[in-house]
A and B are shown apart, each in its own frame.
Chain A
Amino acid sequence: MSRAVTMEQALALAGMAVVLVLLSAFVSLLAARIPATLRLVATPLLGLAGLAALAAGVIALLLGGTVQTTLPLGLPWLPWHVRLDALAGFFLLLIGVVTCAVGLYAPAYVRGFEHGHDSLTALGGFSGLFLTGMLMVVLADDAFLFMVAWELMSLSSYFLVAYHHEHTANRRAAFLYLLMAHVGGLMILLGYGVLAAFGTGFSFSELRAADLPPIWAGVAFALAFMGFGMKAGLVPLHAWLPEAHPVAPSHISALMSGVMLKVAVYGFIRFVFDLIGQFPWQWGVVVMIIGCLSALFGVLAALLQTDLKRLLAYSSAENLGIIFIGLGLSLVFLSTGHRSLGALAFVAALYHCLNHALFKGLLFLGAGAILHSTHERDLDQMGGLLRRKPWTGLFFLVGVLSISALPPFNGFVSEWLTFQAALQAWQLQSGVLRSLIPIASAVLALTGALVAVTFVKVYGIAFLGQARSRHVRRARPGPWGIQAGQWFLALLCLLLGVFPTWVIGLIDAVPRAILGGGLPQAGAYGWLWLTPVSPQTASYSGPLVVLMLAGIGLTVFWGLNYLWSRGAPVRWIRRSDAWDCGFAPPSARMQYTATAFAQPIRRVFGLLFQIDETLTPQEDGTLRHRLHIGDRFWGLLYLPVARAVESAARRVVLLQSGSIRVYLGWTLATLVGLLWIIT
């Protein structure tokens, strides 16, 4: 039998996904006249596009080949090159999965906007263009198309961040986002410029062949790391992330946090692992240190937030940090000649990319479901949502367990793989590296434990206990579409945790294509066993852990409730009031709040933040507590830069005489200067 599907068909599917999202964008133009278009046509088209991208990605990973073509667009001497390989396939899969869930979720969610005064055309149109940009970034095979798609992604998401533009804070967030996205874009452009200067053209195959002297390779790496790191929200370039992600509509937040940050990871991998290809170990150390900083700072900042979506955004910075720890480890191992260990760390990072897309998408959709029915983002106003929205509560719990890296969910597997890679540090020659990697793994362990604190806080405050405000008490289960989107992602979170061997079998095509070697050992003992290095070193059996947990749990439950009580479980439990210490009955206001929950951690790690806490006595004898938690990086990095730009601008103002002749003179001088340089 000849091969049933080919890479060409995968590329055609990917092309179809792009056409579908563009179609969705154009159909949204009608939404100004007929509001239902967005709900009935545009958002389902996104879901279909997601399905196509998912299929294309899976086929590309299964076949592991490469296919390229050129589009009749672009510059006369530089047509747009498009290429689908395993790496692009993996990220297509990632984009596709989350887009599918958003396609299920959005129709019900955008219905809430139909009666508002916000433009539906803008929402649908820019969502479509945003996804077009992300898909094209992944498919691009030359620097020109890459940058065009990258800018399309940044600009269209700017309009989505600014969607609720009537609030000043949102406009400011959007501006900050636009500014940083462009500074980042500029750095990426310069990075490609450095590569192109030593190559023969702008297509990736020509850039790949470029022979860079080490210093210029270092410059290109630094530019790319800063540019892509800015988009990925790595600390200290993260300032836009907690501002921009929360203010977009929730399904867009899911796409931005779950997918767009991963596109930045894609860009970094393509640039450093694929295009540069040769790297010294110092780069790995830099990436690892920045990853550690992001992970730890991100989680601590998340822990101190009370705005649910802002908390999730900070947690994205943390997860991207974990991904970059994995990539840094991979760079260190690859540059010291440990190819299979490099592949292990690389697979761990990719696995975490996929996991983060799934659970962060799920959590943002859950936050959206809460927002949809209560119009509330502040944790300190929530409470008791599990009993009012049982399905959202259940799916959110899955997201919480996954992101906290608890077995048997997916977050655990990627963290386990990262630890396994870090534990092979003894194979390295350099004592510095051997001691740096354990410190990085200590940071990773601390991060993982703090994530659990953060999300116990989120779930305990929002979903458990009693409602802290009236509108939350009136929350109702959402429409089925909203639940279906979450259900899909929650199921995937569980499956990716239970059957890691299959997932790694799929991901393995990427390191085989990019690094020239995968993890042949990972599934050597069948689908039950995950043995990334060798069975003597480490083994984990997701299916058996689940089977045993479920088996023991159900046996204990059955034994205690039926066997032990001889079949009379109903009378054996009695409802009563909560214990009140013999004083007034507990009220919702007596519960711990999110702020109170985080207080011990705030005290332990408070030095890292600018904490402004005041207690002022009021006239009526009560006390008023004000707490403001500031990001120290604003004072350390952003404000000095802003001040420097301002003072530079003040100098430049001297040129601004108001006379057109002087301006024409400057223009001429610049032109002559430029001509002189290029001749």
Chain B
Amino acid sequence: MDNYLTLPGWVLAVFQSCLYLALAPLLVGWVRKAKARLQNRRGAPLLQAYQDLYKLLAKEARVAHTASPLFRAAPYIVFTATWMAAATVPLLVVDLPTAAIADIIVLVGLLALARVFLALAGMDVGAAFGGMGASREMLIGALAEPAMLMAVFTLAMTAHSTNLSSVIDHHLVDGFVLRPSYLFALGGLILVAVAESGRIPIDNPTTHLELTMIHEAMLLEYSGRHLALMEWSAQIKLLLYGTLIANVFFPWGIGRGFGGAALGLGLAAVLAKLAALGAVLAVGETVLAKMRLFRAPEFLNLALLLSLLGLLSHVILEVRA
């Protein structure tokens, strides 16, 4: 416990959290760019996502007459919860105090908190689309959350700890063994990440076609800085899942001390891993089509099954009692 709570640790934790904010639009811009290139388009500039956020932040916010105070509070709650969830995932270095404050179960809980407020905000104005989006989002969340928990439990059981920092540490120290449970958990977590961050084939982040949208349907009534916060949280969520996959399953390069070299190496490593993951996502989104909503449960059941298989193969094959 004490090795977590040091002053440099706290400073780095704050720095890393700010880095999450700063990098999130970049990842989205990168995925969009890569996707455009794959589709033979030139695409928007890499930094377009920052400009969009800036534009939205500078605009006046419009709120429907029928909206309750919850509608105005929700963007702040969603943003804070998502950001805090992201702050618990080691980005550059391990052993930060944020990992001790909140473990992976809290991470899932914070994401659920953000999702609940997002759905509530969608239902607040009383228009038809908000309720539709909320209902669909909660369905997908309800099926994705257990899959995510089972996937992270596989990691936690291997490392005998639910502390994400310890999980990564455990793999770095013990040397990486290609365990069957890991492959299952990785598969499950990738499917969950795709579903939860609203990407194809579950949801299309660029669509505004009423009958198919999920995430966007809940945001229809938002504008100005409220919309900026909601968009930004969605970007942070994508970065969070990317980092989780990158740093837990491929932990090499992550800093294990608080020195400058470790930080620099950590940053370079995580950027490279995220760029690769972003490219994979772009390829996936290009070759796949969006599924019908009622195919989504099958997709997520597969995720749950993979994660559960991971956990079972761990407790049956890999534990020596």
Q: Is A634 interfacial (CB-CB < 8 Å)?
A: no
Q: Which of B37-45, B72-80, B254-262, B279-287 contacts A (4 or more CB under 8 A)?
A: B72-80
Q: Is A529 interfacial (CB-CB < 8 Å)?
A: yes
CA gap between A407 and B109 in the complex, in Å: 6
Q: Which of B235-243, B264-272, B304-312 contacts A (4 or more CB under 8 A)?
A: B304-312
Q: Is A643 interfacial (CB-CB < 8 Å)?
A: no
Contact A445 B150, CB 8 Å, known A431-B316, A452-B115: yes
Judge whether B225 and A560 touch: CB under 8 Å: yes
Judge whether A426 and B297 touch: CB under 8 Å: no
Contact of B112 among A404, A442, A538 (CB under 8 A): A404
Contact A445 B145, CB 8 Å, known A540-B106, A591-B131: yes
Q: Which residues does chain B contribute within 8 Å of A426, judged by CB atoms?
A: 157, 160, 315, 319, 321
Q: Which residues does chain B contribute within 8 Å of A460, judged by CB atoms?
A: 119-120, 122-124, 131, 134
Closest chain-A Cβ to B55's Cβ sits at a distance in Å of: 13
Q: Which residues does chain A contribute within 8 Å of B136, judged by CB atoms?
A: 600
Contact A575 B315, CB 8 Å, known A536-B163, A537-B161, A540-B103: no
Closest chain-B Cβ to A311's Cβ sits at a distance in Å of: 15
Q: Which residues does chain B contribute within 8 Å of A599, judged by CB atoms?
A: 135
Q: Is B246 interfacial (CB-CB < 8 Å)?
A: no
Q: Is A453 interfacial (CB-CB < 8 Å)?
A: yes
Judge whether A592 and B163 touch: CB under 8 Å: no
Contact of A406 among B1, B61, B112, B312 (CB under 8 A): B112
Contact of A575 among B63, B150, B225 (CB under 8 A): B63
CA gap between A16 and B128 in the complex, in Å: 55
Residue from A401, A449, A572 whose CB has the most chain B CB atoms within 10 Å:
A449
Q: Which residues does chain A contribute within 8 Å of B128, judged by CB atoms?
A: 586, 590-592
Give the size of the chain B interface in residues (CB under 8 angstroms): 82
Q: Is A316 interfacial (CB-CB < 8 Å)?
A: no
Closest chain-A Cβ to B209's Cβ sits at a distance in Å of: 12
Q: Is B293 interfacial (CB-CB < 8 Å)?
A: yes
CA gap between A535 and B106 in the complex, in Å: 15
Q: Which residues does chain B contribute within 8 Å of A596, judged by CB atoms?
A: 131, 135
Q: Is A579 interfacial (CB-CB < 8 Å)?
A: yes
Contact A597 B135, CB 8 Å, known A540-B102, A577-B65: yes
Q: Is B146 interfacial (CB-CB < 8 Å)?
A: yes
Contact of A416 among B65, B106, B120, B131 (CB under 8 A): B106
Q: Which of A69-77, A352-360, A379-387, A506-514 contacts B (4 or more CB under 8 A)?
A: A379-387
State which residues 133-160 of B face A: CB under 8 Å: 134-136, 138-139, 141-146, 149-150, 153, 156-157, 160
Q: Which residues does chain A contribute within 8 Å of B247, judged by CB atoms?
A: none
Contact of B308 among A406, A442, A597 (CB under 8 A): A442
Q: Is B48 interfacial (CB-CB < 8 Å)?
A: no
Q: Is B68 interfacial (CB-CB < 8 Å)?
A: yes
State which residues 391-433 of A face B: CB under 8 Å: 393, 397, 401, 404-407, 412, 415-416, 419-420, 423, 425-429, 431
Q: Is A525 interfacial (CB-CB < 8 Å)?
A: yes
- A567-583 interface bits toward B, Cβ cutoff 8 Å, 1 = contact, 0 = none: 00000111111111100
Q: Which residues does chain B contribute within 8 Å of A445, judged by CB atoms?
A: 145-146, 149-150
Q: Which residues does chain A contribute within 8 Å of B66, judged by CB atoms?
A: 384, 465-466, 578
CA gap between A456 and B105 in the complex, in Å: 20
Q: Is B64 interfacial (CB-CB < 8 Å)?
A: yes
Judge whether B101 and A578 touch: CB under 8 Å: no
Q: Which residues does chain B contribute within 8 Å of A435, judged by CB atoms?
A: 312, 315-316
Contact A456 B161, CB 8 Å, known A429-B321, A535-B1, A578-B127: no
Q: Is A549 interfacial (CB-CB < 8 Å)?
A: yes
Q: Which residues does chain B contribute within 8 Å of A601, judged by CB atoms?
A: 139, 142
CA gap between A538 and B103 in the complex, in Å: 7
- A531-561 interface bits toward B, Cβ cutoff 8 Å, 1 = contact, 0 = none: 1000111111100110011001100110010
Q: Is B212 interfacial (CB-CB < 8 Å)?
A: no
Q: Which residues does chain B contribute within 8 Å of A678, judged by CB atoms?
A: none
Closest chain-B Cβ to A557's Cβ sits at a distance in Å of: 5
Judge whether B163 and A539 touch: CB under 8 Å: yes
Q: Is A176 interfacial (CB-CB < 8 Å)?
A: no
Q: Is B210 interfacial (CB-CB < 8 Å)?
A: yes
Q: Which chain B residue lies CB-closest to A465?
A: B126
CA gap between A519 and B128 in the complex, in Å: 50
Judge whether A449 and B293 touch: CB under 8 Å: no
Residue from B135, B149, B157, B319 whose CB has the most chain A CB atoms within 10 Å:
B135
Residue from A456, A463, A603, A604 whose CB has the most chain B CB atoms within 10 Å:
A456
Judge whether B102 and A438 touch: CB under 8 Å: no
Q: Is A450 interfacial (CB-CB < 8 Å)?
A: yes
Closest chain-B Cβ to A273's Cβ sits at a distance in Å of: 26
A-B contact count (CB 8 A): 271
Q: Which residues does chain B contribute within 8 Å of A592, judged by CB atoms?
A: 123, 128, 130-132, 134-135
Judge whether B149 and A456 touch: CB under 8 Å: no
Judge whether A545 and B101 touch: CB under 8 Å: yes
Closest chain-B Cβ to A105's Cβ sits at a distance in Å of: 24
Contact A525 B1, CB 8 Å, known A420-B162, A579-B127: yes
Judge whether A412 and B63 touch: CB under 8 Å: no
Q: Is A373 interfacial (CB-CB < 8 Å)?
A: no
Judge whether A459 and B120 touch: CB under 8 Å: yes
Q: Which residues does chain A contribute within 8 Å of B294, judged by CB atoms?
A: 600, 603-604
Judge whether A442 and B150 touch: CB under 8 Å: yes
Q: Is A23 interfacial (CB-CB < 8 Å)?
A: no
Q: Which residues does chain B contribute within 8 Å of A549, judged by CB atoms?
A: 80-81, 84
CA gap between A599 and B135 in the complex, in Å: 8
Judge whether B1 and A591 touch: CB under 8 Å: no
Q: Which chain B residue lies CB-closest to A430?
A: B321
Judge whether A452 and B112 touch: CB under 8 Å: yes
Contact A465 B124, CB 8 Å, known A423-B157, A545-B101: yes
Q: Is B200 interfacial (CB-CB < 8 Å)?
A: no
Judge whether A573 and B135 touch: CB under 8 Å: no
Q: Which chain A residue lies CB-closest to B71?
A: A464
Q: Which residues does chain A contribute within 8 Å of B126, judged by CB atoms?
A: 383-384, 464-466, 578, 586, 588, 591
CA gap between A449 and B124 in the complex, in Å: 21
CA gap between A579 and B64 in the complex, in Å: 8
CA gap between A453 and B138 in the complex, in Å: 6
Q: Is B100 interfacial (CB-CB < 8 Å)?
A: yes
Q: Which chain B residue lies CB-closest to A446?
A: B146
Closest chain-B Cβ to A384's Cβ sits at a distance in Å of: 7
Residue from B100, B122, B132, B304 whose CB has the most chain A CB atoms within 10 Å:
B100
Q: Is A164 interfacial (CB-CB < 8 Å)?
A: no
Q: Which chain B residue lies CB-closest to A386?
A: B68
Contact A442 B102, CB 8 Å, known A573-B60, A575-B62: no
Q: Which residues does chain B contribute within 8 Å of A575, judged by CB atoms?
A: 62-65
Contact A545 B102, CB 8 Å, known A531-B1, A576-B62: yes
Q: Is B12 interfacial (CB-CB < 8 Å)?
A: no
Q: Which chain B residue lies CB-closest to A528?
A: B101
Contact A578 B64, CB 8 Å, known A445-B150, A539-B1, A540-B101: yes
CA gap between A178 and B60 in the complex, in Å: 61
Q: Is A676 interfacial (CB-CB < 8 Å)?
A: no
Closest chain-A Cβ to B20's Cβ sits at a distance in Å of: 12
Q: Which residues does chain B contribute within 8 Å of A560, judged by CB atoms?
A: 57, 225, 229
Q: Is A448 interfacial (CB-CB < 8 Å)?
A: yes
Judge whether B116 and A428 touch: CB under 8 Å: no
Q: Is B70 interfacial (CB-CB < 8 Å)?
A: yes
Q: Which residues does chain B contribute within 8 Å of A537, judged by CB atoms?
A: 160-163
25 A–B contacts, CB within 8 A, in A order: A386-B70, A407-B106, A407-B113, A426-B160, A426-B315, A438-B150, A438-B308, A441-B150, A449-B112, A449-B142, A449-B145, A449-B146, A461-B123, A464-B120, A465-B124, A529-B1, A536-B161, A536-B163, A539-B1, A539-B103, A557-B76, A586-B125, A591-B127, A596-B131, A600-B136
Closest 6 CB pairs of A and B: A592-B131, A460-B123, A465-B126, A445-B146, A449-B145, A535-B1
Beyond A405-B112, A541-B100, 15 additional contacts (C-beta under 8 Å) are A434-B315, A441-B150, A445-B150, A449-B145, A460-B123, A464-B126, A538-B161, A540-B106, A548-B84, A552-B83, A556-B76, A560-B57, A586-B125, A592-B135, A604-B294
